[in-house]
Amino acid sequence: MKKKIAIIILIIGVLSLGFGAWVLIKNIQEDQKKQEELRTSIVNEYATFKGKMETFSTERTNIYESLNSINYLADINTKYASLISDFQKYEGTLKEIDDSSNILKKNCNNKSFNDKDVNNKLEAFIINYEQAFNYFIQDVAKLNERIKEYNDWVTTQGTGKQLEEYVPQYKDYVDVNKDGKFNGVEKDS
């Protein structure tokens, strides 16, 4: 009788160990599958992000050229509608970048990837994302500074119409990975 009980206990123990090993292997496989799906999502979203960043860069170059083409304060009045339209388009691209980067933003501090490609894409995302937003905020400040100069000039001349400053949706510098560094913020010397 003791032999039968020992055999039954041994069989139950072996079955329990086998079941435990099966569950462990199954969980590891599921985790690997989820990690691979996340990796694929990050790579795909980064490709979209990169394309939108190229558009953003082109628009920023156009904005920079438009602002630098203003040689006289009076030019601001004639180019005002065009400048505001360009800045709205510029900000629209920034919104597209923000809206299409959810997975990247969520995982930019995730250090559990063993894949160098994914880690490099996340690091590049952090730098480019912060730079885009922070450059935009600085560009708006430059535009509004020029508008303020124009408005002051109109006030001293006593003629002309005051122009409204551009009020963007994005107003605060961005630190997406919360490291205390704001990529793209120019320090005043």
pLDDT above 70 for 88: yes
* Geometric angle at alpha carbon 26, from 24 and 30, rounded to 5°: 115
Distance separating alpha carbons of residues 131 and 173, to the nearest angstrom: 9
Alpha carbon separation from 113 to 40, 92, 103, 123 (Å, rounded): 12, 32, 14, 12
Q: Exposure pattern of 40-56 as b/e (b: 16+ CB <10 Å)? A: eebeebbeebeebbeeb
Banded model confidence at residue 189, pLDDT cuts 50, 70, 90: very low
The first and second tokens of residue 127, run together, are 């730098």
Pick 169 or 13 by higher pLDDT: 169
Output the pLDDT for position 138: 94
Which segment, 60-69, 138-147, 173-182, is predicted with the most confidence on average? Answer: 138-147
Average pLDDT over the chain, rounded to an integer: 88
Task: Assign domain 45-157 to a CATH class.
Answer: mainly alpha
Output the pLDDT for position 188: 52
Distance separating alpha carbons of residues 99 and 122, to the nearest angstrom: 16
Determine the average pLDDT of the residues in 71-95.
90
Pick 145 or 75 by higher pLDDT: 145
Pick 176 or 89 by higher pLDDT: 89
Determine the average pLDDT of the residues in 169-174.
90
Output the pLDDT for position 108: 82
Contact 93, 55 (CB under 8 A): yes
Q: Residue ranges per domain, the chain?
A: 45-157
Contact 66, 82 (CB under 8 A): yes
